[in-house]
Amino acid sequence: MGLKFSDLYAAPEVNPVNRKARSVPFFNPINVYGRVFFFAWFGFMIAFWAWYTFPPLVRPPRQAPTRPYRH
């Protein structure tokens, strides 16, 4: 089973026993397997972007004035 260029956009062959695709159509967002792949990586990229771009937007906390310790 070699990789063919048409596997990247054609509807994949589906295993009838477990209903899993035998290839992932990267460039076919119309097909159900292509949509699942697209939204999986898209969701990951949004989460990655949000996680690593938020910290620079947070202001550093102000340092509270120091007071001597009293009993």
Q: What is the DSSP string of 20-62?
A: -BSS--TT-TTSHHHHHHHHHHHHHHHHHHHHHHSGGGSPPPP
Residue 5 pLDDT > 80: no
pLDDT tens-digit readout, 48-60: 998 888 777 677 7
User: What secondary structure letter does DSSP report for 10?
Assistant: S
Band the pLDDT of 3: cuts 50, 70, 90.
low
pLDDT tens-digit readout, 6-57: 666 677 788 899 988 777 777 777 777 778 888 898 899 999 998 888 777 6
Name residues whose C-beta falls within 8 Å of residue 20's C-beta, 6 or more positions apart in sequence. Answer: 14
| Sequence ranges of the domains in the chain | 5-49
On whether the CB atoms of residues 12 and 28 are closer than 8 A, the answer is no
